């Protein structure tokens, strides 16, 4: 792959392989509920703001610890059953995005997607300078994700997210390898979706039809309902709107066959999680159900009817209980 080298001074880092151990059996800080047939247990405690995860070919779990760096968690049986935590790269600049493709370790900062040469045996990266695959990401937003690059809003609510050209709350695609040694600028990417507030996880459907379209599933953290909108009460906003799983389909053939990106709701539309959260003060949702699309009331033309039309707003394929922050 051809990428262009970047000054290491732009990404202060310490390359090391320090390791710590945690035995199995640690308790959750808060109760965790699981669906029937599933279980959950703590792998490692006291991580620094863990945001992004991926597995390498040896099933080491690589974690972006925002504000600290990238670490690798490995299941071990000695000195007891548990997990070893190895520091792969120590740098405060990583935000969330992480992926591995062979020896290439992709990780995002607030303004770029970096590529490191990763050694799976030692869980470390080469001392040679990393390369930039994509630069020019909006650096004043909240978080970014690679290698499909996603951006979050500048503020909540962010009206710029209504426009796919602004790069706010969008997902853009950058083919690898880059067509030249100069890599990409963020504006060069193919926008595949917009109006997805805070895309925090990507997964492709391995069983999708073998056609020219890609089938991408995206976890999206919903926005908080504004206290300035009188149709919602504080009690209702505790459990609404729902977080979402979006299904994004996009073409990867010749440019003239690529359809315009579709809009996924943010900042105008949201998803009901608990319609009975506050029946006395917010009775308008009684009779609706989980997954119902509704308007948050920012724009008079984008009302409940507009948001319920899938031509205007692609609804999620699954809704989740709202993330507590």
DSSP state, residue 279: T
Provide CB contacts within 8 A for 267, sequence distance 6+.
Answer: 153, 156, 157, 158, 159, 161, 162, 169, 195, 197, 223, 296, 298
**Predicted local distance difference test score (pLDDT) of residue 325:** 52
Token pair in block for residue 14: 């310490």
Q: What is the mean pLDDT of each run of 10 residues along the chain (325 residues)?
A: 34 60 90 85 92 92 95 94 95 88 88 90 90 76 58 86 92 78 81 91 78 82 72 89 92 66 95 94 93 94 97 95 71
């Amino acid at each position: 792959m051809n990428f262009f080298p970047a000054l290491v001074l732009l990404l202060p880092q310490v390359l090391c392989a320090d390791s710590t151990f945690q035995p199995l059996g640690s308790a959750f800080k808060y109760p965790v509920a699981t669906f029937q047939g599933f279980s959950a247990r703590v792998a490692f405690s006291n991580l620094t703001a863990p945001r992004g995860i991926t597995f390498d070919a040896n099933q080491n779990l690589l974690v972006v610890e925002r504000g600290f760096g990238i670490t690798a968690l490995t299941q071990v049986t000695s000195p007891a059953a548990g997990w070893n935590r190895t520091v792969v790269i120590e740098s405060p600049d990583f935000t969330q995005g992480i992926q591995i493709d062979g020896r290439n370790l992709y990780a995002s900062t607030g303004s770029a997607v970096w590529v490191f040469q990763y050694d799976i045996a030692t869980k470390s990266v080469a001392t040679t300078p990393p390369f930039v695959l994509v630069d020019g990401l909006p650096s004043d937003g909240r978080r970014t994700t690679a290698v499909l690059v996603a951006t979050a809003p500048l503020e909540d609510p962010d009206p710029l997210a209504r426009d796919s050209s602004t790069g706010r709350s969008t997902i853009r695609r950058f083919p690898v390898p880059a067509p030249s040694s100069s890599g990409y600028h963020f504006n060069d990417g193919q926008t595949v979706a917009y109006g997805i507030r805070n895309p925090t996880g990507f997964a492709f459907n391995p069983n999708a039809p073998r056609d020219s379209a890609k089938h991408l599933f995206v976890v999206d953290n919903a926005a908080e309902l504004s206290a300035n909108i009188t149709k919602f009460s504080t009690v209702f906003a505790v459990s609404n709107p729902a977080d979402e799983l979006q299904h994004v389909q996009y073409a990867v053939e010749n440019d003239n066959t690529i359809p315009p990106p579709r809009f996924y709701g943010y900042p105008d539309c949201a998803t009901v999680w608990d319609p009975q959260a506050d029946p006395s003060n917010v009775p308008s949702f009684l009779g609706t159900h989980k997954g119902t699309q509704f308007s948050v009331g920012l724009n008079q033309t984008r009302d409940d009817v507009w948001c319920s039309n899938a031509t205007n707003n692609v609804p999620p394929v699954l809704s989740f209980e709202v993330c507590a922050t």
